[in-house]
Amino acid sequence: MTTLTAPPAPAATSPAGTGRRRRRRSGANLWLTVLLILASVFTVVPFVAVIVLAVTPEGAQTIPQRLPDEVTLDNLSAVLSASSFLRWTLNSFIYSIVSVVVILLTAAMAGYAFARKRFPGSNALMWSFLATLMVPAQATLIPMFVLVSRMEGVNTFWGLIVPTLANSQAVFLMRQFIKGLPDDLFDAAKIDGAGEWTVFWRLVLPLTKPVLATLGIFVFLWHWNDFLWPLVVAQTDDMRTLTVGLSTLNAETIARARIMASAAISVIPCLVIFGVLQRYLVNSIATTGLKG
Amino acid sequence: MTLQRTAPPRPSWRDRVRDPGWGLIFVLPMLVLFVIFRFVPSLGALGMSFTDYRLSGDFSFVGAENYRRLIEDDLFFDSLRVTLLYALMYVPLTLVVSLGTATMLHHVVRGRGLFRGLLFLPYVTSFVMAGIIWIWIYDSNGLANGLLERVGLGPVPFLTGNQAMVLGSLAIVSVWKSFGYSMLILLAGLKNIPEDVIEAATLDGAGAWAKFRRITLPLLRPVIFFVLVIETIVAFQVFDTIYVMTGGGPARASYGLVYMLYDQGFKFFDFGYAATIGVMLFLVVLVISLVQRYVLDRENT
């Protein structure tokens, strides 16, 4: 489909020079397409391999030597019927979705305050929020863990979730977007006598829907794929998230097909997000620079 | 959107007086989170680095003992060297791959959206998932060695060979997983280059390579620089793939800085010492950011 070439331009109507250039261009374009196909093979083949390995019967001959003779869903169903895998999946969903909801709400509130309200120290506060971007999460891992364990938060959902909610990127993004909204809207609401909460719920939140959606996708991906914090704070099997659970499977001597089946299932939510929102996700990186 | 019209318009001075309070109320939830889980741990890391904090919670102040121990610890300098070596492989490789693919996407006529999507795909997975797949790819019975076997090359010990081999293999996994981000940033940069500049060069008879070197690259420099800084910082934080794929091995060949921090903290429960390594990590990232500021300021004046 992508290798279809453009219909050749009618030679009679175009001067010779343009014709030659066009031919050269379509030659270059063919090369570009070939190189892009190769690059796409590099990014996509590992995913295909996971799926093939996940449906290969245990112990059967498989890739890279040859394709498996038969496919089976046994590995997938074995993974799904193992109680801890479903538990990890549930934990990952709780970790990601609670984080999305709370971060969107608190970041929208803080962003609104920084964009539209003057209060003592608002600028200094905004800058101190941004300054925390300079401190890598790994650098504060130890004191964070000590803090949470002193508050008895190890192996609890709040201990897992709450420390990851202070997100300066989210606040800054919301502030920039709300700052760009027309003043008239807020003036009109004031004149209509709308209270502060009404303005926030009826004006700010609906108007920031596009940026909330973008932020929501990113926060979901960040948390779904997060590893180091869940690794140290979720120590019992029933508190593990999918990434941590997968890493423990990997360390045990479990059949490769089983591990691959787990990996294949764990990536589904991200692939669904990607499939549905790809264009959106891709454009928002270019415009906001949000980084996972 | 129906706003209530029942209340009479309030005088604007009252709003202005009330604003300070409301601003604080709206910022309060995030502020509490930041104070407890960002500001306190940041200062805490510094404070803990001057103690011998242990798992039990007992500690006493030991002055600069942790720092003295650090600069005498070969393990620390080895981990710094491992991380630097890794960064020296990962950063250029990411730049080449993302700049190459971004340029191709920018010029290709058909299927741009499709290719962009396929190239970006690995970005939505986790490093853990990437590590699990690539362990198989690097396995002696895996994809990479299977392909090498076809062309008559012996099994390559990707994850068990010498240090350069192992770190290079880990760098490739990270490039695979995350070059899509830099690719999109660079692609946006390419789109911002005014077309008439390129057109003018074409009319002057400049070839594709000359145009790329003499026009595209110089105009893209700020974006390339941004990508270099971001990816260098990311490289110094490498952990997930090491944890999943090599466990710092073989023989500490991939024992990076963050892996050492984790190891000292959660294997030996030497929290004071691990916090000191965290402070060092912060300093490294700070230096990178300061260099960025310095270079950007110099360019702008």
Does position A99 have pLDDT exceeding 60, yes or no? yes
Does position A8 have pLDDT exceeding 70, yes or no? no
Number of domains in chain B: 1
Domain membership flag for residue B44: no
Domain membership flag for residue B211: yes
Task: Indicate the pLDDT class of residue A102, thresholds 50, 70 and 90.
Answer: very high
B188 or A4, which is more confident? B188
From residue B141, alpha-carbon distances to A46, A108, B60, B173, B290 in Å are 15, 51, 52, 18, 46
Tokens of B278: 């965290």
The helix/strand/coil state of B54 is strand
pLDDT score recorded for residue A94: 96
A133-185 pLDDT, tens per residue? Answer: 889 999 999 999 999 999 999 999 999 999 999 999 999 999 999 988 888 88
- Per the structure, the complete domain to which residue B204 belongs is given by 65-133+163-300
Cβ–Cβ of B40/A147 closer than 8 Å? yes
Tokens of A103: 């971060």
Residue B187: how many other CB atoms lie within 10 Å: 23
Given 3-state DSSP classes, what are the helix, strand and coil percentages for chain B, each rounded to the nearest 5? 75, 0, 25
Backbone angles phi, psi at B205, to 5 degrees: 85, 20
Does the complex come out with an ipTM higher than 0.85?
A: yes
Task: Indicate the pLDDT class of residue A25, thresholds 50, 70 and 90.
Answer: low
Residue A248: how many other CB atoms lie within 10 Å: 14
Touching A: B residues 229-288, CB under 8 Å: 230, 233, 236-237, 239-240, 243-244, 258, 261-262, 265-266, 271, 274-275, 278-279, 281-282, 285-286
Cβ–Cβ of A147/B113 closer than 8 Å? no
pLDDT score recorded for residue B155: 86
pLDDT score recorded for residue B22: 86
| Cβ atoms of B228 and B95 closer than 8 Å | yes
Domain membership flag for residue B38: no
Q: Where are the domains of chain A?
A: 16-54, 75-288
List, as own/partner pairs, every contact residues B102-105 make where C-beta atoms lie below 8 angstroms and the sequence separation is at least 24, other chains included: B102/B183, B102/B184, B102/B186, B102/B187, B102/B189, B102/B190, B103/B186, B103/B190, B103/B212, B103/B216, B104/A32, B104/A35, B104/A36, B104/A39, B105/A36, B105/B183, B105/B187
Q: Give B58's contacts in chain A (Cβ within 8 Å).
A: none
Residues paired with residue B270 on neighbouring β-strands, in sequence order: B54
Mutate to test the interface with A, among B24, B54, B129 (most CBs of A within 10 A): B129
Q: Give B262's contacts in chain A (Cβ within 8 Å).
A: 141, 228, 232
- Which alpha helices (H) appear in chain A, and where do they start and end? 16-54, 74-81, 83-116, 122-131, 141-150, 157-161, 168-179, 183-191, 196-198, 205-207, 209-225, 228-233, 242-251, 256-266, 268-288
A229 or A190, which is more confident? A229
The residues of chain B scoring below 50 in pLDDT are: 1-17
The helix/strand/coil state of B61 is strand
pLDDT score recorded for residue A172: 92
Task: Indicate the pLDDT class of residue A106, thresholds 50, 70 and 90.
Answer: very high
The helix/strand/coil state of B267 is coil
Does position A277 have pLDDT exceeding 90, yes or no? no
Give yes or no for A65 touching B (CB within 8 A): yes
Residue of chain A minimizing CA distance to B7: A193
Touching A: B residues 2-61, CB under 8 Å: 3-10, 12, 15, 18-27, 29-31, 33-34, 36-42, 44-45, 47-48, 53, 57
Cβ–Cβ of B104/A35 closer than 8 Å? yes
A245-267 pLDDT, tens per residue? Answer: 999 887 776 778 888 888 888 88
Instruction: Choose among A118, A202, A278: nearest Cβ to B3.
Output: A202
Touching B: A residues 250-269, CB under 8 Å: 250, 256, 259-260, 263, 266-267
Domain membership flag for residue B60: no
pLDDT score recorded for residue B174: 96
The whole-angstrom separation of Cα B226 and Cα B34 is: 27
A209-243 pLDDT, tens per residue? Answer: 888 988 998 899 999 999 999 999 999 999 999 99
Does position A97 have pLDDT exceeding 90, yes or no? yes
Residue of chain A minimizing CA distance to B122: A43
B172-199 pLDDT, tens per residue? Answer: 999 999 999 999 999 989 988 888 888 8
Please give the DSSP secondary-structure letter assigned to residue B49.
Answer: T
Touching A: B residues 65-94, CB under 8 Å: none
Does position A9 have pLDDT exceeding 70, yes or no? no
Domain membership flag for residue B238: yes
Cβ–Cβ of B128/A227 closer than 8 Å? yes
Mutate to test the interface with A, among B4, B93, B132 (most CBs of A within 10 A): B132
The whole-angstrom separation of Cα B230 and Cα B289 is: 9
Q: Give B36's contacts in chain A (Cβ within 8 Å).
A: 147, 166
pLDDT score recorded for residue A291: 67
Tokens of B71: 């600069």
From residue A12, alpha-carbon distances to A8, A186, A220 in Å are 11, 62, 57
A52-69 pLDDT, tens per residue? Answer: 888 888 777 777 777 887
Residue of chain B minimizing CA distance to A258: B132
Annotation: CATH topology of A75-288: MetI-like fold (1.10.3720)
Q: Which CATH number is B275's domain given?
A: 1.10.3720.10
Touching A: B residues 106-165, CB under 8 Å: 107-111, 113-137, 141-143, 145-147
Domain membership flag for residue B3: no
